[in-house]
Structure 1
Amino acid sequence: MRKIARPRGLSRRGLLGAAARLAPLAAVPTVSLPGSAAAATDPYAALARASVTEFRSAWDAYRRLAWGRDELRPLTGAGSDFFIPGSTLGLTIVEALDTLYLMELDEELDAGVQWVRDDLVLGQDAPVQVFETIIRLVGGLLSGHLATKDTVLLDRARELADRLLPAFTRSPTGAPYRYVNLATGAVSGKENHLAEIGTCITEFGELSRLTGDRKYYDAAKKALHAVYERRSRLNLLGTGMNVETGAWTGTTATLDPPVDSFYEYLWDGWELYRDEDLRTWYSTLTAAVLEHLTERRSGRLWFRQADMRTGAATGHAQSELTAFYAGLLAQSGRVAEGEAYHASWAAALRSFRLPPESLDYHGMRALDPSYPLRPEYVDSCLFLWLTTGKELYRRRAAEMFRRQKQYCKVVNGYTVVRDVTARPMKLGDLTPAYWFSENAKYYYLLFARARRFDYRSNYLTTEGNVLRGLR
């Protein structure tokens, strides 16, 4: 989940001007487009073709067995619902739109857009999770619109955002409620997590940019500020808050879920929209994280849990979702720390064939042995490569691609793993929609020298939706 590349010397997600940095960044790697002499001898060309083949395998299975449903269950050969039991919002289709565009699978892209135009029903009388709906559906519709220029996709993104706005506008603090009914606007879930409160400013900001209506950006920024102004004297944050009272409901400082992408979107908001407040908030909070949460274990960099008020250590678990932070650190100028953190995850993979959902980095043992096809390790491979130009990160991604194919590939595409420590691994029965938006896209961009992607100036959301850099 995360992203940006940049013009030479600038930082991550599709910069619009000269970004202030915490440290100087390396030059962007040279990328040769298909047809060039360099491309003809590209050692990753076979992997590029394989990445499209594997995507098509999963996509064809979805079209055949679950078209229009939120997600595919590849073992049982059926569809499943993500947001609303017994109903669909076409999650996999929306998530895949810009991946289809980048891979030049235009007939499939047309079919996806047609489904959104004819069959996507947004005003359903049911509560949906605001955070997931924004990053996955609003973001997917926006990136699909930017790829195709189809106004229907923008109209649907705006309609959906309007249906979600009561979660923000009815909150006394401005931090959104966790759920909202798409038909009635009724809100619920007053106790919310930081990632769910703060991960919306790029999608809502883009909607404001495209429509000229600031209400979306303003709502997202107010939500971020509601959290920032309640930081501890150490400039640390907890894990959740009551959106009605502003009281902390979790006082553990951590980078792990349910906090992770809160930090990411502070930086992204600065990079995309040049909002000085967001840069200040990110810098202040990041300095506190690096001061109070970093831990070296056997020479490796990890991030512990601590009490937000005292800084006292409270745990040493790490979620695979937090592997994204390696890319974010590098892209925001902390290149050495970003590389060191990614090296920690690469070392962990010498103990596991696939990264477990969470691990105890003191004993290097799995706390949650599942592998839900998470993309964060490869996400950071992409953005560390774009930041440093080091082929090391493409090689690490290639190894993960091979492992994912070896352990997760089934007849109908790819599926999650219930236990990576079992021999043989125990498989689950789900192709998460984010696999189409993230895993497949990251591999393709790393290996393929994509003609429709600007490697020097781009922005991908936490869900892998491209909001800058589509050619």
Structure 2
Amino acid sequence: MADNPPKSTRKRANKITKKQPAKTSGSQAGPLANVLLLVVSGALVLVTLALVPGPVQDKLLVAIGRGEKPQDLPFKTKIYLDKEKRKAVFQAFKHAWFGYERDAYGSDEYHPISKQGSNLTEAGGVGYTIIDTLDSILIFSLSEDGASLGQSYRRARKWLKDQHTFDVDGTYNTFELTIRLLGGLLSAHWAEHEVGITPGLHMENANSEDDYDPADMLYLSKAVDLAERLGHAFNTRSGLPLSNINLKTRKGIKSDVEGGLVSTAEVGTLQLEFRYLTHLLTNKLEQIPEAQRQKANLPSFLMDEDSNVVTKEDLRTHWARADHIMTITRQGTRGRLPTVFMNPEDGEFIISPIRLGSRGDSYFEYLLKQYLQTSKTEPDLLRMWDEAIDQISETLVMRTPRKEHLFIAELNPEQDDAGAISWRREPKQDHLACFLAGSLLLSAAHTRGTNLRDIPSASIPPKASDFENERAARDWKMGLDMLDACYDTQRTKTGLAPEIVHFRTKTEPGWVTDKAEGEWYIRGAPVGQPPPLDARYALRPEIVESIFIAYRLTADPKYRRWGWSIFESIEKHCKVPTGGYAGVYNVDEVPARQDDKMETFFLSETLKYLYLLFSDESVLPLDEVVFNTEAHPFPRFSPEWQTPFM
């Protein structure tokens, strides 16, 4: 994609080279309802509930998903709110969001230094920043000073209702539309409708035209509209979606790079969103009595083109598309690691690099998260995750010779003169790959039936030896060790981690121009040339995400120290005084030169994970929600359908 490559495709592709929970709404309300009851001071409870109408307030009061007793908490930990630090993150969010509101409202992207916005196509924008930030506004609005975001939320909702449309004659990336916009709309619907968080919509000074109408289900209607348009990208011989889609003409468009191939991350990172959409629509249909299912006043998203009520099988279309992709990838891997490119016509993997960074990362992330999202009811998904981690452990995991830092290498294909393919292991790791540390910890703690609360000798924080399951013990140690190495890449002059690092090995001492004695280095550019892309920091969230997960699962205070250190570096080097935040071109250069762009994932992911890091554990508990790759939380649920991928 020319304007805004997907998060998993922002790095250029390497070429082959010659050798050189339950379904009920009550259970869904728990995770955020706890925020009102358990996290915040009594004063905030009164302020927040004053913004919520009576019936919703009652729902929040009874929908408690977890108590404060030790046996109700993960392992043996107790994680308390760090009010001062969470407030600092809240202020940073307001600084970022208010800058966008002032300078670029409605634009897809924000350029804080030049104080202007831009859209991803000349045809106009589709609300990237606003939609990607909706659930962040809702979550941050539960802070001590959260009422100050009420007007922002009311404005965003009104803009989406009155001015926004997906009927734009422009080409957009299928993957990005799914994780940012479809994910953002679904998460906002859950928070607003299923949980009942509606900041600013019931304030006394709100105009009557802004009043909240629970029946409109604005976000779900928008999500259905977008999903229907996205569905046309799947019209290929294999059923794999094309990289791009024209939202107005509803035509899938091949990528203009890599010969029209699709990346494994692009096709493997749609499932959480399409599955949750299907679950929501099925629930809405089931809530309508049979006798009323022919009335014309039903929500439009439950009606077909002839104004007939849809059936469950009609609603299964989105789920089936997502599952079909998993069947294809399952058949193409069979215990092997996938390469980063696939042919959208025949569904075959193409000889190309194998990596957990760009173009590969979130495929692996979603193997685990699909299993968790559907309440651990699909063992084939866990099996695919296990097989992938087995292969990663055996072929990609490497350690530095001195400090034994664990990192995930890449495999690059090489072709000899006779045409034979061999694989060269490169000690290179993207910032993106650091998501895996948190996923490994989540897997160890949530998939093996191991309950450390039942083990009297379990350590606090837990150690790998506390796990009775060998695979869980391995994943736990690998996750902790990888996170140590990822955090070590923050040891730059700015305290920010670069886009890409190369680790030292016994056979690869580093570039001659690199004089450092550390475990890793940034490949440099020739003297007098601009810094390489490897050296930049684009406000990425992956290290912070894994730190958040590690802290929630261990309560080890060092992870809060790590997160605070990263936040302070962001404040020092990325903050634009007039509003917003910007990435930096070179993390090893002080003063840092800022890049005039605030990525939408800074609002949806980086600041959200930092906010949650300093919240108590009842705010979006990890055993009740699943975050998509853009940090949009979805509740776990019991699925209506299951698909065997074997």
TM-score by length of 2: 0.64
| Number of the residue aligned with 2:320 | 218
Give the secondary-structure state (helix, strand or coil) at the position aligned to 1:336.
helix
Task: Provide, for residues 127-158 of structure 1, a one-character-per-residue CA deviation record: whole Å limited to 9, x for no partner.
Answer: 21000000000000111111112511001001
The yes-or-no answer on 1:241 pairing with 2:342 is yes
Counterpart of 1:116 (choices 140, 143, 160) is 160
Gaps of 5+ in 1: 2-14, 18-30
| Number of the residue aligned with 1:72 | 110
The yes-or-no answer on 1:162 pairing with 2:228 is yes
Looking at structure 2, the residues matched to 307 and 217 of structure 1 have their Cα atoms a distance apart, in angstroms, of 34
1:32-431 paired onto structure 2 within 5 Å: 33-35=39-41, 44-82=82-120, 84-104=121-141, 105-149=149-193, 151-168=217-234, 170-189=235-254, 190-212=260-282, 213-231=315-333, 235-273=336-374, 274-297=377-400, 298=402, 299-306=404-411, 312-333=423-444, 334-351=475-492, 353-362=495-504, 363=510, 364-367=520-523, 368-411=534-577, 412-431=579-598
Instruction: Name the CA shift for 1:455/1:201 in 2 (closer, same or farther; >3 Å).
Output: closer
Is residue 16–residue 272 contact of structure 1 (8 Å, CA) maintained in 2?
no
Give the secondary-structure state (helix, strand or coil) at the position aligned to 1:95.
helix
Is residue 316–residue 361 contact of structure 1 (8 Å, CA) maintained in 2?
yes
Greater displacement, 344-353 / 267-276? 344-353
Looking at structure 1, the residues matched to 340 and 248 of structure 2 have their Cα atoms a distance apart, in angstroms, of 30
Is residue 103–residue 450 contact of structure 1 (8 Å, CA) maintained in 2?
no
Task: Provide, for residues 250-274 of structure 1, a one-character-per-residue CA deviation record: whole Å limited to 9, x for no partner.
Answer: 4322111110000111111111122
Return the offset for 1:81: 1.5
Looking at structure 1, the residues matched to 171 and 619 of structure 2 have their Cα atoms a distance apart, in angstroms, of 37
Instruction: Name the CA shift for 1:85/1:250 in 2 (closer, same or farther; >3 Å).
Output: farther
Give the secondary-structure state (helix, strand or coil) at the position aligned to 1:202.
helix
Task: Provide, for residues 76-114 of structure 1, a one-character-per-residue CA deviation record: whole Å limited to 9, x for no partner.
Answer: 0001113x2351111111111111111113332222111
Return the offset for 1:348: 2.1
Is residue 412–residue 425 contact of structure 2 (8 Å, CA) maintained in 1?
yes
| Number of the residue aligned with 1:458 | 625
Task: Provide, for residues 352-375 of structure 1, a one-character-per-residue CA deviation record: whole Å limited to 9, x for no partner.
Answer: 521111111124222411111001
Give the secondary-structure state (helix, strand or coil) at the position aligned to 1:55.
helix
Give the secondary-structure state (helix, strand or coil) at the position aligned to 2:134.
helix
Larger radius of gyration: 2
Instruction: Name the CA shift for 1:80/1:197 in 2 (closer, same or farther; >3 Å).
Output: same
Q: Which has the higher contact order (CA 8 A, sep 6+)?
A: 1
In terms of fraction of residues, the more strand-rich structure is: 1
| Number of the residue aligned with 2:57 | none
Is residue 306–residue 312 contact of structure 1 (8 Å, CA) maintained in 2?
yes
Return the offset for 1:249: 3.2
Give the secondary-structure state (helix, strand or coil) at the position aligned to 2:332.
coil
Return the offset for 1:284: 1.4
Instruction: Name the CA shift for 1:310/1:59 in 2 (closer, same or farther; >3 Å).
Output: same
Give the secondary-structure state (helix, strand or coil) at the position aligned to 1:356.
coil
Greater displacement, 305-314 / 319-328? 305-314
Return the offset for 1:310: 8.2
Greater displacement, 60-69 / 360-369? 360-369
Return the offset for 1:402: 0.6
Looking at structure 1, the residues matched to 371 and 261 of structure 2 have their Cα atoms a distance apart, in angstroms, of 27
Task: Provide, for residues 51-100 of structure 1, a one-character-per-residue CA deviation record: whole Å limited to 9, x for no partner.
Answer: 11111111111111111111211000001113x23511111111111111
Give the secondary-structure state (helix, strand or coil) at the position aligned to 1:235.
coil
Is residue 304–residue 317 contact of structure 1 (8 Å, CA) maintained in 2?
yes
Instruction: Name the CA shift for 1:184/1:86 in 2 (closer, same or farther; >3 Å).
Output: closer
Instruction: Name the CA shift for 1:335/1:206 in 2 (closer, same or farther; >3 Å).
Output: same
Instruction: Name the CA shift for 1:467/1:237 in 2 (closer, same or farther; >3 Å).
Output: same
Looking at structure 2, the residues matched to 204 and 448 of structure 1 have their Cα atoms a distance apart, in angstroms, of 29
What is the CA RMSD across the aligned residues, in angstroms? 2.5
Is residue 175–residue 227 contact of structure 1 (8 Å, CA) maintained in 2?
no
Is residue 541–residue 606 contact of structure 2 (8 Å, CA) maintained in 1?
yes
Greater displacement, 282-291 / 155-164? 282-291
Looking at structure 2, the residues matched to 72 and 63 of structure 1 have their Cα atoms a distance apart, in angstroms, of 10
Instruction: Name the CA shift for 1:253/1:311 in 2 (closer, same or farther; >3 Å).
Output: farther
Give the secondary-structure state (helix, strand or coil) at the position aligned to 2:122.
coil
Equivalent position amino acid for 1:181 in 2 = N
Counterpart of 1:445 (choices 589, 612, 619) is 612
Is residue 134–residue 203 contact of structure 1 (8 Å, CA) maintained in 2?
yes
Is residue 263–residue 282 contact of structure 1 (8 Å, CA) maintained in 2?
yes
Gaps of 5+ in 2: 1-6, 8-20, 24-36, 43-67, 69-78, 142-148, 194-213, 255-259, 283-314, 414-419, 445-474, 505-509, 511-519, 524-533, 637-646
Aligned length: 438
